[in-house]
């Protein structure tokens, strides 16, 4: 207890002998102490429950509850752990003194008491107790400050990861915007021109057919010979077969480019502010695979085993970022002769599960516990930032989901992502 400057220190005297209690009162009150009396252990416990004393003088020999048991019970009280307890005993044998200290006593004095010495001893104990209380308060304050600092560091780390993720998604968004702007318009008029070209070619082929039919009607042998020679020289029969095939193949290529652009836009979701929606994770995985196809097509075969998974409440562009980081890491872990990446989805109760497995090099046990740490990477310098999986972890955590990894050297790695089908009512960032 911290004493105010004008507060008299409270001493609780616990003794079944009324004369001893009276002598304590007459000795201490003139010295500036306030004294409360208790004639038994039960009265002492009740007094401490009402008000915490600054010092307790406790007789060891009392009927019913003796001083040893009383001391143990006083120490068990919520406010009794640091109160100085001075035992009063007529027995100064080692066993009694040891038993008293084991029960929680702070000091002892032998009866008959030396009253002047008792006053000095109490004042010394009060100073010591004040220092201990101050240290306890400081320790509590430091613990609170440390807890606040730990919480702040956790929030800072999460905010840092989210900022990195936002910056990366913004870069992807800018790339997609540029691609969409630079490619969509030319693709549009090229596809339109191909349609017109096909119409023109049909007309030309129709006209060519008329000319071929008129060959037999031409009277001039020389003109007929030249027409046939020119038709053979220009390989008109081959052109008639090849040109439609070339146009169709070109149209298919342009459609694939347009599909890639649309996938990139869907991956970054340029046309909307990132928000919680019910979305299909298969659509997100497919668009991600199209965007990163160049990273994986020569490294691994992708096998998709999609289950019957309902739309989940999520921010799909963020989940696309998770899929991209894990799949690219899997592709980079493949041996030179290539490997397999299997993407499996299914529902598990109220959760959707995405498992991404590879048969690559695997992750060592020592690295497995660190893979989600920011800036940790096993790639050579300049080949990786060590942020991909930490960003993925932060995104899954913000979705109230879980991401676990199972791996062994030489066997491969499996990431298991569990996401709730429906988010709690309030989304916290």
Residue with more model confidence, 196 or 414:
414
- pLDDT tens figures, 176-191: 555 555 566 667 667 7
Q: State the chain's mean pLDDT as an integer.
A: 78
Question: In which band, very low, low, confident or very high, does the pLDDT at 422 lie, cut at 50, 70 and 90?
Answer: very high
- Report the range of poorest mean pLDDT among 2-6, 199-203, 291-295, 392-396: 2-6
- pLDDT tens figures, 51-110: 889 888 988 888 889 888 999 998 888 877 788 888 887 766 778 788 888 888 888 887
- pLDDT tens figures, 196-243: 777 767 767 776 776 766 666 666 666 667 767 776 776 767 767 777
Report the topology of domain 277-420: Heat Shock Protein 90 (3.30.565)
Q: Is the CATH code 3.40.50.2300 the one for domain 10-113?
A: yes
- What was the pLDDT predicted at 270? 46
- pLDDT tens figures, 281-321: 999 899 888 878 877 888 888 999 999 999 999 988 889 88
pLDDT(355) > 90: yes
**Domain residue spans in the chain?**
10-113, 172-268, 277-420
pLDDT(262) > 80: no
Question: In which band, very low, low, confident or very high, does the pLDDT at 341 lie, cut at 50, 70 and 90?
Answer: very high
- What was the pLDDT predicted at 2? 39
Tell me what percent of the residues of the chain surpass a pLDDT of 90.
17
Q: What is the 3-state secondary structure (H, E, C) of the chain?
A: CCCCCCCCCEEEEECCCHHHHHHHHHHHHHHCCEEEEECCHHHHHHHHHHCCCCEEEEECCCCCCCHHHHHHHHHHCCCCCCCCEEEEECCCCHHHHHHHHHHCCCEEEECCCCHHHHHHHHHHHHHHHHHHHHHHHHHHHHHHHHHHHHHHHHHHHHHHHHHHHHHHHHHHHHHHHHHHHHHHHHHHHHHHHHHHHHHHHHHHHHHHHHHHHHHHHCCCHHHHHHHHHHHHHCCHHHHHHHHHHHHHHHHHHHHHHHHHHHHHHHHHCCCCCCCCEEECHHHHHHHHHHHCHHHHCCCEEEEEECCCCCCEEECHHHHHHHHHHHHHHHHHCCCCCCEEEEEEEEEECCEEEEEEEECCCCCCHHHHCCCCCCCCCCCCCCCCCCCHHHHHHHHHHHCCCEEEEEEECCCEEEEEEEEECCCCCCCCC
- What was the pLDDT predicted at 221? 67
pLDDT(162) > 90: no
Question: In which band, very low, low, confident or very high, does the pLDDT at 122 lie, cut at 50, 70 and 90?
Answer: confident
- What was the pLDDT predicted at 312? 94
């Amino acid at each position: 207890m911290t004493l105010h400057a004008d507060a008299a220190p409270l001493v609780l005297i616990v003794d079944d002998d009324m004369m001893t209690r009276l002598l304590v009162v007459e000795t201490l009150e003139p010295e500036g102490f306030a004294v409360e009396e208790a004639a038994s252990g039960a009265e002492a416990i009740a007094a401490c429950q009402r008000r915490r004393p600054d010092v307790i003088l406790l007789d060891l020999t009392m009927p019913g509850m003796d001083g040893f048991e009383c001391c143990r019970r006083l120490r068990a009280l919520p406010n009794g752990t640091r109160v100085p307890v001075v035992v009063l005993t007529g027995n100064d044998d080692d066993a009694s003194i040891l038993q008293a200290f084991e029960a929680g006593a702070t000091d002892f004095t032998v009866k008959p008491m030396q009253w002047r010495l008792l006053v000095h001893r109490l004042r010394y104990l009060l100073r010591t107790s004040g220092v201990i209380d101050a240290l306890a308060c400081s320790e509590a304050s430091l613990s609170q400050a440390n807890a606040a600092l730990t919480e702040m560091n956790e929030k800072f780390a999460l905010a840092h990861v989210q900022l990195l993720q936002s910056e990366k998604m913004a870069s992807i968004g800018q790339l997609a915007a540029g691609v969409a702007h630079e490619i969509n318009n030319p693709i549009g008029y090229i596809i339109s021109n191909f349609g017109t070209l096909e119409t023109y070619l049909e007309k030309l082929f129709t006209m060519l057919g008329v000319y071929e039919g008129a060959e037999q009607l031409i009277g001039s042998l020389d003109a007929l010979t030249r027409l046939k020679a020119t038709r053979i020289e220009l390989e008109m029969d081959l052109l008639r077969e090849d040109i439609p095939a070339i146009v169709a193949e070109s149209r298919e290529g342009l459609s694939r480019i347009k599909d890639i652009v649309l996938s990139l836009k869907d991956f970054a979701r340029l046309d909307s502010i990132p928000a919680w929606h019910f979305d299909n994770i298969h659509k997100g995985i497919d668009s991600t695979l199209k965007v990163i196809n160049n990273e994986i097509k020569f490294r691994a075969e992708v096998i998709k085993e999609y289950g019957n998974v309902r739309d989940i409440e999520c921010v799909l562009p963020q989940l696309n970022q998770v899929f991209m980081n894990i799949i690219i890491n899997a592709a980079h872990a493949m041996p030179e002769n290539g490997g397999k990446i299997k993407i499996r989805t299914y529902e598990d109760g109220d959760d959707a599960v995405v498992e991404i497995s590879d048969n690559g090099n695997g992750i060592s046990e020592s690295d497995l516990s660190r893979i989600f740490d920011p800036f940790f990477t096993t790639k050579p310098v300049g080949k990786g930032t060590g942020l991909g999986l930490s960003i993925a972890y932060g995104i899954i955590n913000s979705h109230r989901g879980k991401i676990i990894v199972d791996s062994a050297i030489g066997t491969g790695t499996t990431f298991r992502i569990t996401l709730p089908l429906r988010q709690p009512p309030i989304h916290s960032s």
